[in-house]
Amino acid sequence: MILYVLNSNYDKIVVMDHYESALWVDRYNKPGEFELYIPAESKLFSYIQCGAFLSNNYSDKTMIIESIKIDTDIEDGNKVTVTGRSLESILDRRIIWRQTDFNNANLQNAVKRLLNENVISPSIAARRIPNVIFQDSSDPRITSLTLTAQYTGDNLLDVINEICEQNKIGYKLVLNDNKQLVFSLYMGADRSYNQTANNYVVFSPKFENLLNSNYTKDDKSYKNVTLVAGEGEGVERKTRTVGSASGINRRELFTDARDIQSKDEDGNDLSDAEYNALLDQRGVEKLSEAKMTEEFDGETDPFESFIYGEDFFMGDLVQIRNEYGFETASRIIEFVYSDNTSDGSKYYPTFEVYKTED
């Protein structure tokens, strides 16, 4: 993996080729992250600084250096550990400044509004982050989605993560050739056995392209019914029940939604139906955070059968089969590049098991 250091103007100023280990993680609907372990030398700190950027020859993502740690050791020499997150993390620097309501709104337009009002062209000039632009998707799987929600003071990154994860879509903030930071929503292609439009991508020990794997299914934190409580006090508090299950299979969760207001952003009273829809949506969001998880992860051989970035991409559905015959379509939600002087380069995708309701 070839790493490049970029300055604040996004110009490549140094090629990084002397690290001992590098870990680079791209993700589907969350910021990625990286970690570098480098022998310490004085010239290193002329370009390795908090706020500088990193890119590499495999990924379309750009990382921001957020932490630099120096460890001194007389015997093994001094080492520097550098960590940070991908460009999407700049959304973590903004909150949703004023109450913002969406009532069955087009989801892409809603996300665009959140970005425009809090990053791209906010009313307070100091809140603007230069060079960020929004690129509309024409994918009907994106354009057909809707959003009902109310936000006030929420962290912008948390909201975007939540919207995308709940709707099974990805987002990215990519540096283009014009030094613009391009935000877009996307959904991966289906390359599983569930379709015939695309070439199949199959990972299995049988094809010698899945070198090792881990399968995890966990329902410890799973909830399927929530009592959502909005405005009011005591027995007068407005409540809604979201989800349905009974007996031992019913797993309950309380959702405090007192922050949801019964007046819209213009001060007009919401109807009971509109307010209940906001409470219901909050319940859906909280249940989506308490879902049952089912994931594969493993080491793939990048030179056998399928190459990441050519044959399959972040967010794609692919077919997975382990040595015990467990087979399913799974979405690629994370891809890890690992490179170090002792073990060489390795590649670890994480696959989220695809459900028919996706």
98 CB neighbour count, 10 Å cutoff: 13
pLDDT tens digits for 83-118?
999 999 999 999 999 999 999 999 999 999 999 999
Mean pLDDT confidence for 19-45: 91
Give me 293's structure tokens.
Answer: 């998880």
Q: Any idea which architecture 94-186 has in CATH?
A: 3-Layer(bab) Sandwich (3.55)
292 CB neighbour count, 10 Å cutoff: 15
d(CA 114, CA 111): 5
**CA distances, 243 to each of 147, 166, 176, 254 (Å):** 18, 15, 43, 12
pLDDT of residue 53 exceeding 60 = yes
- Triad 257, 267, 159: Cα angle to 5°: 40
Query: CB–CB of 62/174 below 8 Å?
Result: yes
Percent of the chain at pLDDT exceeding 90: 69
The pLDDT, as a whole number, for residue 353 is 80
* Average pLDDT of the chain, as a whole number: 90
Q: Which of 196, 215, 97 is nearest to 156 (CA)?
A: 97
The pLDDT-based confidence of 358 (bands split at 50, 70, 90) is very low
pLDDT of residue 356 exceeding 70 = no
The pLDDT, as a whole number, for residue 304 is 62
The pLDDT, as a whole number, for residue 234 is 87
Query: CB–CB of 321/196 below 8 Å?
Result: no
What φ, ψ does residue 336 adopt, rounded to 5°? -110, 125
Q: DSSP character for 119? A: I
Strand ranges across the sheet with 225-229 = 239-242, 225-229, 252-256
pLDDT of residue 50 exceeding 70 = yes
The pLDDT, as a whole number, for residue 325 is 67
Give me 62's structure tokens.
Answer: 């750009």
d(CA 309, CA 56): 13
Give me 219's structure tokens.
Answer: 């329902």
> Tokens 């991409």 identify what position?
313
Model-level pTM greater than 0.85? yes
pLDDT tens digits for 257-282?
999 999 999 999 999 999 999 999 99
Q: Which of 259, 201, 255 is nearest to 232 (CA)?
A: 259
- Of 175-184, 307-316, 336-345, the one with minimum mean pLDDT is 336-345
**Burial class (CB within 10 angstroms; exposed 0-12, middle 13-18, buried 19+) of 291:** middle
d(CA 184, CA 111): 10
Query: Domain map of the chain by residue range?
Result: 3-87, 94-186, 202-219+293-353, 225-289
pLDDT tens digits for 282-337?
999 999 889 888 777 777 776 567 888 889 999 999 998 877 667 788 899 999 99
- Of 79-88, 122-131, 210-219, 308-317, the one with minimum mean pLDDT is 210-219
Q: Which of 107, 108, 85 is nearest to 30 (CA)?
A: 85
Residue 226: partners with Cβ closer than 8 Å, 6 or more residues away: 241, 242, 243, 252, 253, 254, 255, 283, 286, 287
